[in-house]
Amino acid sequence: MSFRNRLILSAALAVAIAVALSSVIVYFAVRRQLLDQVDTALFQRAEYLQGIQGSHYVPPPLGAAGGYAQIVTARGGVVRNTDESITIPATTEARLVAAGEMETFFSDMIASGTRVRVITAPLAEGLALMVVRPLDEVDLILKRLGLLLSLIAASGVALAAGLGRMVAQAALVPVHRLTEGAERVAAAGSPSHRIEVGGNDEIGRLATSFNSMLEALEESLNSQRQLVADASHELRTPLTSLRTNIEVLARADRLPDEERKELLSDLNVQIQEFTVLVGDLVDLARGDEPEVGEEEIRLDLLVERAVQRIRTHWTQVQFTVDLKPSLVRGAPSRLDRAVANLLDNAGKWSPPGSTVDVKVTGGELTVRDRGPGIDEADRPHIFDRFYRASEARAMPGSGLGLSIVKRVVQAHRGTVVAEAAEGGGSLFRLTLPLLPFTPPPTGTEPSPEGNQE
């Protein structure tokens, strides 16, 4: 069943339920009103028959225009006019009224195939009066009323279905427009199309959300294409160099030993750089993926171990550390890679014999080098992937390290900025959301993951 038909059916069903409930209420209200009128007439007739009694019992003129009447004794006997052929059963309740053990009451019963309304009231000691009135007229009115209400209900449902079809057709116009837009996107295979937003209602918000999704998808696809294009460009040069050196190495028997050793050394360096480049590309491609396996991490301990590793690579640079306990949440391997990239970048730009200051406090890592600093024109772009300042193009690297840092930090709901340091050099500031930290007991060795081992 289509959505439009479901909408029409829902509207018709809702109206049918509403009309049915209203009809039932009206029917029983009218029925109650008619019975109240009958009861009033019976009560007045019973009062009249009771009032014409003298001190001695005289049989009243039963069966008069006010309704058929009879007398019931406490033992169940029935007294009626001799010309009356209809006998109303003397019920147990009627005998109790005659005996003075029950008050006046109304009841319905069948007499000679006719539904009647009966009032039973005390008449004299040991006697009760039963006044009966047929309900034929009431039943006829209720029957006609039921038929009329049924016709009204059926007409209301049919009218609701017709109006529901019109309303559904008008209300589903934005849905059709949204559906056509989605079909165009699917047919074209491109998220560049947009849906026309017709208002601020639910459909309008849905169209806006759909457009936002298309915009994010288009941006992601463009970013993916750009990554592939940039990666192809960056990989072309090292691959060409590797191929050339391998071709030369294939004729190594013609080369002097010294040149062959130098060639092998160059190949080893190129393979290492190529491995780093491929690893950077993989990390960059995973940069927008949601973090998995997040846990509590001692940032100060993670930085300390990263510094120990980086010292073996940049032996001509001195790394000084000032690490305060800081607890953050994240993926250890991803944060370790970001920290290592920052430290590696500082070591690469630091002159031999200079110092790199590394400080951790309050969930913030600062790395300050004494290098040439970052040109003001380059500073807004240093975290862009494959961006390399003019001074960096002669140095090893792919231009992906700082981009990876930014992606990792943003994925951990943090920030990273580059500033000009006082006295020269650069200052990188990496900030992550800080968690409450409980110092470990004395004598225990803390680990990077969690408050303590």
User: How confident is the prediction along the chain (453 residues), in pLDDT tens digits per residue?
Assistant: 677 778 778 878 888 888 888 889 999 999 999 999 988 888 888 888 877 754 344 544 444 445 678 888 888 888 776 555 667 788 889 899 888 899 999 998 887 778 888 989 998 888 888 888 888 888 899 999 989 988 888 888 888 888 778 877 777 777 777 777 778 777 777 777 776 776 677 777 777 887 888 888 887 777 777 667 666 766 676 777 778 778 777 776 667 777 777 777 777 777 776 776 676 667 666 655 545 568 899 999 999 999 999 898 888 999 999 999 999 999 888 898 889 889 988 998 889 999 999 999 989 999 999 988 888 877 787 887 666 555 554 455 556 778 888 888 988 899 999 998 888 889 999 999 999 876 666 555 555 554 443
- What pLDDT does 451 receive? 46
At 328 the pLDDT is: 93
CATH numeric code, 3-148: 3.30.450.20
Q: Distance (Å, rounded) from C-alpha 179 to C-alpha 126? A: 84
Q: Where are the alpha helices (DSSP H) in 172-318?
A: 173-188, 202-250, 257-285, 299-313
Express each pLDDT in 310-368 by its tens digit.
898 888 999 999 999 999 999 888 898 889 889 988 998 889 999 999 999 989 999 99
Beta pairing class for 355-361 and 364-368: antiparallel
Residue 358 parent element (H or E): strand 355-361
For tokens 């039921």, what's the residue? Answer: 146
As given in the structure block, the two tokens for residue 206 are 């849905």
| pLDDT value for 429 | 94
d(CA 328, CA 449): 9
Q: What is the pLDDT of residue 276?
A: 65
In whole angstroms, what is the distance from residue 329 CA to residue 183 CA?
42
Whether 418 and 426 have beta carbons less than 8 Å apart is answered as: yes
Paired tokens of 408: 């990792």
What pLDDT does 56 receive?
Answer: 45
Q: Tell me, letter by letter, the H, E, C secondary structure of 79-143.
A: ECCCCCCCCCCCCHHHHHHHCCCCCCEEEEEEECCEEEEEEEEEEECCEEEEEEEECHHHHHHHH
Q: Is 57 exposed, middle or buried (0-12, 13-18, 19+ CB in 10 A)?
A: middle
For residue 242, the model assigns a pLDDT of 77
Q: Which residues pair with 328 in a beta bridge?
A: 297
The closest of 86, 60, 85, 83 to 71, measured between CA atoms, is 60
In one letter, which amino acid is 328?
V
Measure the CA–CA gap between 118 and 104, rounded to whole angstroms. 11
CATH class of 295-431: alpha beta
Please report, for the chain, the start and end positions of each structural domain, with discontinuous segments joined by +: 3-148, 202-285, 295-431
> In this structure, which topology does domain 202-285 adopt according to CATH?
Helix Hairpins (1.10.287)
- CB-based contacts of 353, cutoff 8 Å, min separation 6: 316, 317, 318
Nearest-angstrom CA–CA distance, 25 and 27: 5
pTM, 2 dp: 0.47
Nearest 5°: the CA angle 155, 156, 160 is 120
Cα–Cα dist 402/346, whole Å:
11
C-alpha span between 46 and 49 (Å, rounded): 5
- N residues, the chain: 453
CB 73 within 8 A of CB 98: yes
DSSP code of 195?
Answer: P
Q: What is the pLDDT of residue 285?
A: 65
What is the average pLDDT score of the chain?
79
DSSP letter at 67? -
Which residues on adjacent β-strands are paired with residue 357?
Answer: 320, 368
Q: Are 350 and 317 in contact (CB under 8 A)?
A: yes
| pLDDT score of 277 | 66
Closest to 431 measured CA to CA, from 338, 354, 305: 338
What is the Cα–Cα distance from 199 to 206, expressed in whole angstroms? 10
Structure tokens at 140: 């006829």
